[in-house]
């Protein structure tokens, strides 16, 4: 069985209803925060002072603004276009990643793009467009030939070309250094998305229990489920009649399924060592 034939390589869209997907929840949070901003107009400056990102905010110890700034938006149009980007590109990427890894990817995309901005500007910044940039580039690396159609354009455009055009446009905008668009934050998110997806560099952290997605399983239960997905009984040991290569491929498939379901952090040290050795033999 080839890699492209495996079930976890076929996922392109997250399952579940809008409110149960991470992308759906992200859009709901952004909309609710904007409604709070609009409803508390007299208190909006106070809200933004505590949540938006700037060098001054970090200098006064407001480190949480490295994440919270992404949920603030300057206008309805700002929120709308970022929401479109999250829905289109975030949904595409969410279906290709385990849920917890997608959450981590999103959080650190906000942090990385925010750091890129404050490193080059003393102005405050709001908006989730840096995360959208990470989605665009990572999705383009995963699904480069996926066709997209835009209104008034009679031809389909592959996703990789959209990503290239997006990055080039932001490089040009950053070079001009004018306007209210945070081009450097966009480029920071794009760079993060490229590095994470291309090289598998994904920072790790523990979410509070209330924010964790999916039911937690013990390592032994997870191992049994991975074995069952590979057609093996719990406690499976390769039958002697199987060639070693057959048994090895079966175990590789089971471990890859486990990574797909629970993330690479779910592997034990022995399992990681086995995968590393197996990958050397398959080169």
pLDDT in tens, 215-274: 444 444 554 555 455 444 444 344 343 344 666 777 777 777 777 666 676 777 777 787
Give me Rg for the CA atoms of the chain. 21
Whether this model's pTM surpasses 0.85: no
What integer best gives the mean pLDDT of the chain? 77
Count of positions (residues) in the chain: 283
Query: 148 has which bridge partners?
Result: 157
Contact criterion met (CB below 8 Å) for 263 and 100: yes
Cβ-proximal residues to 109 (8 Å cutoff; 6+ apart), any chain = 130, 131, 133, 134, 135, 189, 192, 193
Class of domain 12-209: mainly alpha
Q: Which of 152-156, 177-181, 207-211, 231-235 has the highest mean pLDDT?
A: 152-156
List strand residue ranges (DSSP E) for the chain, in order: 147-148, 157-158
For 189, the token pair is 């998110």
Angle subtended by helix axes 183-199 and 129-142, to nearest 10:
30
Q: Per-domain residue ranges for the chain?
A: 12-209, 217-282
Sign of the alpha-carbon dihedral angle for 113, 116, 119, 124? negative
Q: Position of tokens 């409604």?
A: 35
pLDDT of residue 233: 42
Distances (CA, A) of 162 to 110, 157, 274: 21, 7, 39
Contact criterion met (CB below 8 Å) for 232 and 251: no
Burial class (CB in 10 A: 0-12, 13-18, 19+), 32: exposed
Q: Which of 155-159, 188-192, 229-233, 268-272 has the highest mean pLDDT?
A: 188-192
For 122, the token pair is 């003393």
The helix (H) or strand (E) run that includes residue 226 is helix 219-229
């Amino acid at each position: 069985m080839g890699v492209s034939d495996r079930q976890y390589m076929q996922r392109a869209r997250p399952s579940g209803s809008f409110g149960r997907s991470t992308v759906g929840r992200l859009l709901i949070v952004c909309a609710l925060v904007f409604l709070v901003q609009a409803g508390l107009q007299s208190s909006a400056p106070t809200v933004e002072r505590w949540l938006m990102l700037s060098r001054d905010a970090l200098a006064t110890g407001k480190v949480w603004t490295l994440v919270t700034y992404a949920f603030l938006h300057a206008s309805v149009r700002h929120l709308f276009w970022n929401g479109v980007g999250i829905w289109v590109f975030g949904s595409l990427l969410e279906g290709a990643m385990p849920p917890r890894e997608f959450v981590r990817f999103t959080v650190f995309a906000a942090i990385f793009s925010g750091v890129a901005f404050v490193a080059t500007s003393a102005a405050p910044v709001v908006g989730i467009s840096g995360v959208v940039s990470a989605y665009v580039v990572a999705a383009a690396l995963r699904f480069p030939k996926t066709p997209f159609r835009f209104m008034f354009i009679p031809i389909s455009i592959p996703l990789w070309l959209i990503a290239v055009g997006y990055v080039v446009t932001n490089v040009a905008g950053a070079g001009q250094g004018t306007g209210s668009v945070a081009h450097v934050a966009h480029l920071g998110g794009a760079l993060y998305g490229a590095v994470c997806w291309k090289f598998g560099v994904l920072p790790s952290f523990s979410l509070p229990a209330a924010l964790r997605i999916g039911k937690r399983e013990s390592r032994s239960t997870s191992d049994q489920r991975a074995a069952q997905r590979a057609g093996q009984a719990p406690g499976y040991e390769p039958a002697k009649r199987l060639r070693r290569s057959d048994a090895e491929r079966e175990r590789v498939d089971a471990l890859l399924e486990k990574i797909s379901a629970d993330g690479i952090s779910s592997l034990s040290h022995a399992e990681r060592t086995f995968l590393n050795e197996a990958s050397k033999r398959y080169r």
